[in-house]
């Protein structure tokens, strides 16, 4: 076992610098994302990355739903770093590791191609909705900050166990359509 290997909740070793797609499991992703709070936890109540991912998957066309659900999957293993820091030159190595992990996730679940524009757009809509519902922005202020209009439906945060279950339910729903495995 390498010094860059972690053991996942499913007791699967995963080398973060050389991830093997066969060692990536959806339960590990669901669990890791469900336990991570959006905005580095700097919001009034817990709202998980898993719940965010479910929202994104529901805002895209069905053929992009798996991409939407998994768009932050690397964070299940690496944790997230707030965007203003992640984009700095100091984080180049982190972004390279994140990219390799995402590549392994996409191979594992047979998701093809680059992230669709619909997922990028849905991620911004989800962010605007989170600004409105979790950060106290008005709808107009959220739209101005993010460049997208918030979704009509309001966010109701759930606990991490519920978020994990809902993530797994959404994964099973999408795979039942036959678009991805």
Per DSSP (E only), the strands in 48-134 are: none
Whether 54 maps to a domain, the answer reads yes
CATH number of the domain that 25 lies in? 1.10.3210.10
Q: Is the per-residue pLDDT at 42 higher than 70?
A: yes
- The pTM of this model reads 0.94
Confidence of residue 180 (pLDDT cuts 50, 70, 90): very low
Question: Which of the 8 DSSP states describes residue 14?
Answer: E
Whether 28 maps to a domain, the answer reads yes
Per the structure, the count of domains in the chain is 1
Whether 130 maps to a domain, the answer reads no
Q: Report whether 68 contacts 60 (CB < 8 A).
A: yes
Confidence of residue 178 (pLDDT cuts 50, 70, 90): confident
Whether 119 maps to a domain, the answer reads no
CA dist 131 and 143 (Å) reads 9
- pLDDT value for 5: 95
As a whole number, mean pLDDT of residues 38-57 equals 96
The range of the structural domain enclosing residue 65 comes to: 5-114+159-176
The alpha carbon of 20 is separated from its chain's Cα centroid by a whole number of angstroms, namely 19
């Amino acid at each position: 076992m390498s010094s860059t290997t972690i053991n996942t909740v499913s007791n699967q070793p995963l080398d973060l610098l050389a991830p093997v797609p066969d060692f990536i499991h959806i339960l590990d992703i669901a669990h890791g994302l469900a336990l991570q709070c959006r905005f580095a936890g700097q919001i009034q109540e817990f709202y998980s990355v898993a719940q965010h991912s479910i929202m994104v998957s529901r805002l895209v066309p069905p053929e992009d739903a798996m991409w939407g659900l998994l768009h932050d999957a690397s964070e299940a293993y690496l944790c997230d770093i707030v965007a203003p820091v992640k984009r700095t030159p100091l984080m180049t190595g982190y972004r390279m590791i994140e990219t390799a992990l995402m590549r392994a996730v996409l191979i594992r679940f047979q998701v093809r191609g680059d992230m669709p524009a619909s997922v990028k757009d849905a991620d911004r809509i989800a962010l605007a909705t989170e600004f409105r519902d979790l950060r106290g922005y008005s709808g107009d202020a959220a739209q101005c900050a993010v460049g997208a209009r918030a979704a009509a439906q309001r966010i109701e945060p759930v606990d991490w166990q519920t978020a994990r279950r809902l993530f797994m339910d959404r994964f099973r729903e999408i795979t039942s359509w036959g678009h991805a495995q």
